Amino acid sequence: MSTTISSITRQGAFEPFELQVARGQIQGHQAVTIFGYNPDVDTAVETIWPNGGVVAHPAVATVMKVSSASADDAAAGTGARSLYIEGLDANYNTITETVTLNGQTEVNTVNSYLRINNFYTASVGSGGSNVGYIYIGDGTVTAGVPATIYDLMDIGFNSRTTGHYTVPAGYTAYFYQGRLTVAQASGANVVTGQLVSTTTDGITRVAAVTTIDSGVSEYDFNIPIPFPEKTDIEARAVGSANNNSTSCMLVFVLIKNGP
């Protein structure tokens, strides 16, 4: 006899909306959680990602070069062996693929990407995680590092830690929760975090801002902030002094637009 697995109460037949979305029970709804990490935020505005500076985007959908700073991240290596990549094509539609790594030598993607929204280790060697920084980018690749970096994976993370997401065509992203964490040696400096959005008109707008020295700043939006299709959403930070370790979490519900 088959068993029906359900977390609803038997009398009230109730299950929280967020849990239903996470379980894929509501058509056209998808939960999206983005994590970002920047170990060294200085006194110029930076994306919360491990590369410093602000995330760049290709002008047109581009075949990406995927490479690692370590020769051990390869098909028969001890580190990451393959990656799953999710991004958007020229029309902002979601595309995916799996790429087999070749160490410091770049491997071209099959798809052409306008944006990278996620990538993570799909298979791994005996070491259990990526040995080097893994890059997705374009231009000349030197010792595994492309001239232009569009996204990257920090050493040992097995997943990107980039506080950036672009809303696919035909969807609206509703921003539910944001979190900024800051750590520094003295605790006397100030770090300002920004949630920014860039729409197709090319204008970057600040949607939320928070300032702390050390610790956690958290926002829960009872009325979620809507971001329309094709919007770039990004977490940024800037310090009043150098050398601030910063991370972020962004939580959305992605809802398919009606007819």
pLDDT at 26: 87
Task: Supply the DSSP symbol for 131.
Answer: S
pLDDT at residue 11, as a whole number: 55
- The answer to whether the Cα torsion of 179, 8, 255, 89 is positive or negative is positive
The verdict on residue 104 lying in a domain is yes
Residue 123 confidence (pLDDT): 98
Q: Verify that 45 and 75 share a domain, yes or no.
A: no
Residue 6 lies in a domain: no
User: What pLDDT does residue 10 have?
Assistant: 54
Task: Quote the pLDDT of residue 91.
Answer: 98
Q: What is the pLDDT of residue 70?
A: 98
pLDDT for res 253 = 94
Task: Let me know whether 170 and 230 are in one domain.
Answer: yes
* Per-residue pLDDT at 116: 98
| pLDDT score recorded for residue 14 | 74
Same domain, 182 and 126: no
Q: Is the dihedral of CA 11, 17, 22, 24 positive or negative?
A: positive
Per-residue pLDDT of the chain (259 residues; tens, 9 = 90+): 566 556 665 555 678 888 888 888 889 999 999 999 999 999 999 999 999 899 999 999 999 999 999 999 999 999 999 999 999 999 999 999 999 999 999 999 999 999 999 999 999 999 999 999 999 999 999 999 999 999 999 999 999 999 999 999 999 999 999 999 999 877 678 999 999 999 999 999 999 999 988 889 998 888 999 999 999 999 999 999 999 999 999 999 999 998 7
- Of 133, 153, 173, the one marking the end of a domain is 153
Q: Cα–Cα distance between 169 and 173 in angstroms, integer?
A: 11
Residues 251 and 189 grouped into a single domain: yes
Cβ count within 10 A of residue 215: 10
Is 142 part of a structural domain of the chain?
yes
Three-state SS sequence of 160-214: CCCCEEECCCCEEEEEEEEEEEEECCCCCCCEEEEEEEECCCCCEEEEEEEEECC
Domain of 101, in residue numbers: 62-153
The number of domains in the chain is: 2
Q: Angle CA(20)–CA(117)–CA(102) in degrees, nearest 5?
A: 125
